[in-house]
Amino acid sequence: MSFSIQFTHAITRRPAASITRGLRAVDTGNPDLALMQAHHDSYIATLRETGATVIELPPLDAYPDSVFVEDTALCLPQGAVVMRPGAPSRLGEAAEMAPHLHALYGEVVGITGAESFIEGGDILVTEREILVGRSARTNAAGIAELARLVAPWGHELREVHTPPGVLHFKTDCSLLDVDTILSTTRLSASGCFDGYRVIDVAEGEEAAANTIRFNDLVLMPAGFPRTRDAIAAAGYTVREIGNSECAKLDGGMSCLSLRFTPRK
């Protein structure tokens, strides 16, 4: 099985009360912390259902978006890369994550260039390559630095584009198995997934594209029945998780965890 769908570990961070100051493209109202925490609890319980060890870090009030841990690191089997988030209010989150990666990994490196910016939400790891979407948060210098860091581990990067107005590359896609990608049609139409099997999210359900395949389960946001049925019909075991509060901050399933199998 590929390293990209089978995991022994996940790291999450509980949402902080400062979440009401989290970044958002469009203001649709503040998230309700209690409801977000309840959704977060069911997300963690579902990851644990697969037998994985799920670490829950404490809330970080100084960083309103810190529940979205995915943006702070790229976790590969050979080692972890600490990111350099392109959102100024999120830069410090990466350093907060680093010690937790050092505790689990033999090798941890970092993006350090003053002009390099890259967030984990722009990175999709498949069995054969690492796709990185340039976005408002991820620039060419960040991608080039990441390519240099992971080359010794045998990984190749392919740069792709994030659709205009979309926060991260993975806002619009996710890996369902080693060869299958769930994608919005506005993204797959670019041809970036040619050579993969692509399952399109239903029209009008674009917010369902950000799912995660975690061991035997696909976790997806609740409320997208046509996409849910399409994923189930393709043979996957689906779990729907409430995402109404994270969605107010442009967050989804992948943002809420780092998923990996570390080699010590």
The 8-class DSSP code of residue 194 comes to T
- d(CA 244, CA 108) in angstroms, rounded, equals 34
If the CB atoms of residues 240 and 250 are measured against ligand CIR, the closer one turns out to be 250
The two structure tokens encoding residue 73: 């690191």
Look up 168 and say whether it is catalytic. yes
Residues 215-234 that bind ligand CIR (CB under 6 A): none
Q: Which one, of 122, 120, 116, 124, lies nearest residue 145 by Cα?
A: 116
Binding mask 139-168 for ligand CIR (x = CB under 6 A): ----------------------------xx
> Do 259 and 56 touch, CB atoms closer than 8 A?
no
Question: Which part of the chain contacts ligand CIR (CB under 6 A), choosing from 43-51, 145-153, 190-198, 249-257?
Answer: 249-257
Question: What is the sign of the dihedral through the CA atoms of 211, 213, 214 and 216?
Answer: positive
Task: Based on the shown chain and the rule CB under 6 A, indicate whether residue 171 belongs to the binding site for ligand CIR.
Answer: yes
- d(CA 106, CA 2) in angstroms, rounded, equals 21
If the CB atoms of residues 230 and 249 are measured against ligand CIR, the closer one turns out to be 249
Distance from CA of residue 145 to its chain's centroid? 20
CB of 223 to ligand CIR, least distance (A): 17
Catalytic residue among 168, 173, 192, 246: 168
Catalytic residue among 75, 192, 246, 255: 255
Task: Based on the shown chain and the rule CB under 6 A, indicate whether residue 70 belongs to the binding site for ligand CIR.
Answer: yes
Residues 20-39 that bind ligand CIR (CB under 6 A): 22-24
Task: Based on the shown chain and the rule CB under 6 A, indicate whether residue 136 belongs to the binding site for ligand CIR.
Answer: no
> Do 252 and 243 touch, CB atoms closer than 8 A?
yes
Q: Which residues are registered as beta bridge partners of 220?
A: 240
Phi and psi, residue 50, nearest 5°: -85, 0
Among 33, 87, 144, 222, binds ligand CIR (CB under 6 A): 87
Among 40, 71, 94, 209, binds ligand CIR (CB under 6 A): 71
Among 68, 117, 214, 236, binds ligand CIR (CB under 6 A): 68
CB of 137 to ligand CIR, least distance (A): 7
Task: Based on the shown chain and the rule CB under 6 A, indicate whether residue 255 belongs to the binding site for ligand CIR.
Answer: yes
Token match 């965890």: residue? 257
Question: Which part of the chain contacts ligand CIR (CB under 6 A), choosing from 13-21, 178-186, 224-232, 250-258?
Answer: 250-258
Which residues, 6 or more positions from 40, have their beta carbon under 8 angstroms from its beta carbon?
12, 14, 15, 67, 256
Look up 255 and say whether it is catalytic. yes
> Burial of 92 by CB count in 10 Å (0-12 exposed, 13-18 middle, 19+ buried)?
middle
Which residues contact ligand CIR (rule: CB under 6 A)? 22-24, 65, 68, 70-71, 87, 90, 120-121, 167-168, 171, 249-251, 254-255
Active site members: 168, 255
